[in-house]
Amino acid sequence: MLPLLQLAAALNCAALVSAHGPWSRAIGYRHLLGPPPGQSGPPQPLWGGAAKTAGARFTPAGGFDSIYLGHDPITAFIEVSALILLPGGPVPVRSAPWVVISVDGILNNLLDLTDPATLTTLGTTAQEMTGTWTPLPHPPTQRLGQLAYDSGRIVGIKYASAKRPGGINVVVFPDRIHVVASNYLEVYDPHGHLAQRIP
């Protein structure tokens, strides 16, 4: 990956793309029994604070709110390790209860890390973006996520799943959604039990 100052400059002129839902989000059932920590009101299935608590692929610990979405429910389950995909098919694992929600929306100004040209512009590779990040103190994906967020123009990042070959994910910076007026995320819940929309 490019050095930080060069990377920041590259992000300020990188081509951005648009995407639309539906996407899938896997959430631990226990997180939907009430409001997020320190808040009141109904459950918030689009709460982005969990990723910054411990850190995530593109979110440094203590950083910024981030909402991680899978292109499909299988990818969403695999990303949270609720399912393992073997050559013979998916294998369920013993885990705490999970809920998968459908998220509608329109997102403009996404950095597309599935595009080889974008990776070249940023001086990185698919391997670096999908590699193991947890043991590293400042993994390249988190440095990229922080600079993308700091740019003020990037709403989120579209990227290849590290756990499911061919799977695609999107991480959204909820407090950057307003950058383009038509952007939004909305939980599809015709019964209204988990209704939430951003903005």
Range 145-167 average pLDDT: 97
104: nearest Cα among 198, 192, 2: 198
Q: List the structure tokens of 188.
A: 């599809």
User: Total domain count for the chain?
Assistant: 1
Q: List the structure tokens of 181.
A: 């007026």
pLDDT at residue 126, rounded to an integer: 96
pLDDT at residue 45, rounded to an integer: 98
Q: List the structure tokens of 118.
A: 């974008």
Q: Is 109 inside a domain boundary?
A: yes
Q: What tens digit of pLDDT does each residue of 101-124 get?
A: 999 999 999 999 999 999 999 999
Of the chain, the percentage scoring pLDDT greater than 90 comes to: 85
pTM: 0.94
Q: Phi and psi of 126, rounded to 5°?
A: -60, -35
Q: What tens digit of pLDDT does each residue of 1-32 get?
A: 999 999 999 999 999 999 999 999 999 999 99
Range 133-160 average pLDDT: 94
Of the chain, the percentage scoring pLDDT greater than 70 comes to: 100
Torsion, CA 53, CA 56, CA 61, CA 62, rounded to 10: -60
Range 164-168 average pLDDT: 94
Q: Phi and psi of 70, rounded to 5°?
A: -100, 150
The whole-chain average pLDDT of the chain stands at 94
Q: Is 167 inside a domain boundary?
A: yes
Q: Is 80 inside a domain boundary?
A: yes
Residue 136 has pLDDT above 80, yes or no: no
Q: Is 102 inside a domain boundary?
A: yes
Q: Is 192 inside a domain boundary?
A: no
Question: Domain span at residue 130?
Answer: 4-187
**Phi/psi class of residue 53: alpha, beta or left (left: φ > 0; alpha: ψ in -120 to 50)?**
alpha
Residue 90 has pLDDT above 90, yes or no: no
Residue 155 to residues 17, 71, 115, Cα–Cα distance (Å): 10, 17, 17
Nearest-angstrom CA–CA distance, 4 and 13: 15
Range 83-96 average pLDDT: 79
Q: How confident is the model at residue 134 (pLDDT cuts 50, 70, 90)?
A: confident
187: nearest Cα among 197, 177, 179: 197
Q: Give the side-chain half-sphere CA count within 13 A for 105.
A: 32
Residue type, 32: L
CB distance 45 to 27 below 8 Å: yes
Q: Is 70 inside a domain boundary?
A: yes
Long-range Cβ contact pairs of 83-89 (< 8 A, separation 24 or more):
85/163, 85/164
pLDDT at residue 56, rounded to an integer: 94
For tokens 């407090």, name the residue: 175
DSSP single-letter state for residue 35: P
- How many residues are there in the chain? 199
Range 158-164 average pLDDT: 95
For tokens 């949270």, name the residue: 80
Residue 59 has pLDDT above 80, yes or no: yes
